Amino acid sequence: MSAFALPEKANLARHDRKNNKKTIWAWCMFDWANQSYNMVITSTIFPAYYVAVTANKATGDTVSFFGHRYVNTVLSNYILGLSYLIVVVLLPILTSIADYKGNKRLYLQFFTWLGALACAGLFFFKPDSGLELPMICFGLACIGYCGGFVFYNSYLPQIATVDQQDSVSAKGFIYGYVGSLIMQVLCFVVVLSPKTFGITSDDLPARISFLMVFVWWLGFSIIPFRLLPKGEPNPGSHKYNVLTGGFKELARVFKKVRTMPLLKRFLSSFFFYSVGVQTIMLVAANFAAKELLMSEEMLITIILIVQVVGVIGAWLTSILSTKYGNVKTLVGLVALWTLLCLSLYFIASVPQFIVAAVIVGAGMGGVQSISRSTYSKYLPPNITDTASFFSFYDVTEKSSIVVGLFCFGFVEALTHEMRDSALALDAFFLIGLILMISLMFAEKKMKNLPTAPIAE
């Protein structure tokens, strides 16, 4: 029997387990927990701290890393790019195991521990330290964050019916925004008022914030660890070994994707606009600290505003997708990002950056949330190997980040201008926009076909 042709009773049993409020809450709490990493380590305190510690006009801001010299921000982009590349290679193997054994919750736990402990390791990154160990911890934290997310995402079709996936996905992002906002405020207090806590060292407040991320991330992850289902094993025959099975699973998924015209078009567009979206979010703090000489305090304040706007943006996007459909909403969002990326080339002051940051906040959560739910809607109903399909989604996204970060770093290394890198990214947005418009017209033509899932 095909994996997609489950008995009627099994279908009903699956449906009954979906839309459980407690399970959905636990799923959202994972976003609440791990977005502390995304806020503090990739968006605010760590980038500002890293640029401040490694800045050196006499050497052109170059640093030594295992005997080689790099521009400081180029090095951090390369480390992130390499981390995402490792994730791309590892996840097919791990999701293959998770599908076969139905134990994706175990991998959710493993990557969470890896990421959280790596954040704790950043506490030992002092101004006089070598960069080797801190950059390794920086990379491992990224691997832990990304690795956990692929298994987290794969739960969506398992816990929510198709008609609820947009709202559940948006709810997860909103939880993440609110959780990271609270975490950032707590770190903000430590960084801005260190004497209140008897701290006299200039570097200790930032390093304490890295430790706070460890506690927050791991502490709140206990909720999904306890309440999310273990996972469902794939009832199909398991003919592949553990090392090659994941890649063969991806090849199998890729063959299926090629037979689904709408999903194929969506993933093509998703790859290109994700190159831009994800890279901008990862390098924005470095851009502000280096190009605009923005202080750590100002940067944190702006990101807090962005997070608040992001919650509103994710909520509005959910409403717009309900009214206009996912694809039309995505066309508008990608068009907005295309213009925003172009504007980065001309930003020369803090007020201009603040305006751009607010727009980023409005579109950031929205485009991520609706992309995830749109992909989920295009999948065949009642599939059991959700981890493999979402592994393909995450490999697509993470591959786009690898391309974006290495492209951004390479252009900066050549021109010594981050603005030129932003201009290069805009080409990816434009291609993604064209492909999304193409999907919109293709969906209209296929809307009446019963075999073509429509992302409405």
Q: Report the alpha-carbon angle 71-211-397, nearest 5.
A: 55
Reported as a single tens digit per residue, the pLDDT across 194-222 is 989 999 898 999 999 999 999 999 999 99
| Per-residue model confidence as pLDDT tens digits over 412-444 | 999 888 889 989 999 999 999 999 999 999 888
Q: Are 203 and 109 in contact (CB under 8 A)?
A: no
Give the pair of three-digit tokens for residue 164: 């609820």
Q: Which pLDDT score, from 0 to 100, does residue 402 have?
A: 93
Query: In this model, does residue 95 exceed pLDDT 90?
Result: no
Give the pLDDT score at 71: 92
**Cβ neighbours of residue 175 under 8 Å, at least 6 residues apart?**
28, 29, 31, 32
Mean pLDDT over 21-36 rounds to: 94
Distances (CA, A) of 118 to 39, 142, 250, 337, 368: 15, 9, 29, 32, 25
Question: What gap in Å lies between CA 455 and CA 452, rounded to an integer?
Answer: 10
Burial of 163 (0-12, 13-18, 19+ CB in 10 A): exposed
Amino acid at 30: F
228 Cβ contact list (under 8 Å, min separation 6): 23, 26, 27, 30, 105, 108, 155, 159
State the Cα–Cα distance between residues 86 and 139, nearest whole angstrom.
10
CA distances from 30 to 20, 88, 440 (A): 16, 21, 33
Q: Is 200 exposed, middle or buried (0-12, 13-18, 19+ CB in 10 A)?
A: exposed
Residue-wise pLDDT tens digits, 151-209:
887 788 789 887 888 788 878 888 988 898 899 889 989 988 898 999 989 899 999 99
Ramachandran quadrant class, 182 (left: phi over 0; alpha: psi -120 to 50; beta: rest) = alpha
- Where does the pLDDT of residue 4 fall: very low under 50, low under 70, confident under 90, or very high at 90 and above? very low
CA 413, CA 312: separation in Å to the nearest integer?
37
Q: Looking at the predicted structure, is the pLDDT value of residue 94 above 80?
A: no
Candidate from 170-174, 203-207, 254-258, 447-451 with smallest mean pLDDT:
447-451
Over 90: is that where the pLDDT of 133 sits? yes
Indicate if the pLDDT at residue 64 is higher than 90: yes
Does residue 259 carry a pLDDT above 90? no
Residue 321 confidence (pLDDT) above 70: yes
Mean local confidence (pLDDT), 100-124: 90
What is the C-alpha to C-alpha distance for residues 95 and 394, in angstroms, rounded to an integer? 11
- Classified as helix, coil or strand, 160 is coil
How much is the pLDDT for 88?
87
Q: Does residue 450 carry a pLDDT above 60?
A: no
CA distances from 10 to 5, 6, 86, 210, 387 (A): 10, 6, 37, 46, 19
**CA neighbours within 13 Å on the CB side: how many for 51?**
25
Sign of CA dihedral 24, 30, 31, 33: positive
Judged on CB neighbours under 10 Å (0-12, 13-18, 19+), 363 is buried
